[in-house]
Amino acid sequence: MFQPSRNMKNEPRDQGRSMARNGTPLEAAHASVRALIGEKVRYLVPMTVVFMTAYVGLTALAGFAKGLVGIKVIGSVNLGFVLIAFNYLLSWLLAILYGRIARSKFDPLAARAALDASKGLPK
Looking at the predicted structure, is the pLDDT value of residue 37 above 50? yes
Q: 9, exposed or middle or buried, with CB in 10 Å at 0-12, 13-18, 19+? A: exposed
52 vs 23, more confident: 52
Q: Residues 89-113: pLDDT tens digits? A: 999 999 999 999 999 999 999 998 8
Looking at the predicted structure, is the pLDDT value of residue 18 above 50? no
Give the CA distances from residue 92 to residues 6, 85, 97, 98, in Å, rounded to whole numbers and listed in that order: 55, 11, 8, 10
pTM: 0.70
The pLDDT score that the predictor gives to residue 16 is 47
Looking at the predicted structure, is the pLDDT value of residue 27 above 90? no
| 65-86: burial string, b at 16+ Cβ within 10 Å, e else | eeeebeeeeeeeeebbeebeee
Q: Residues 53-92: pLDDT tens digits? A: 999 999 999 999 999 999 999 999 999 999 999 999 999 9
The pLDDT score that the predictor gives to residue 22 is 47
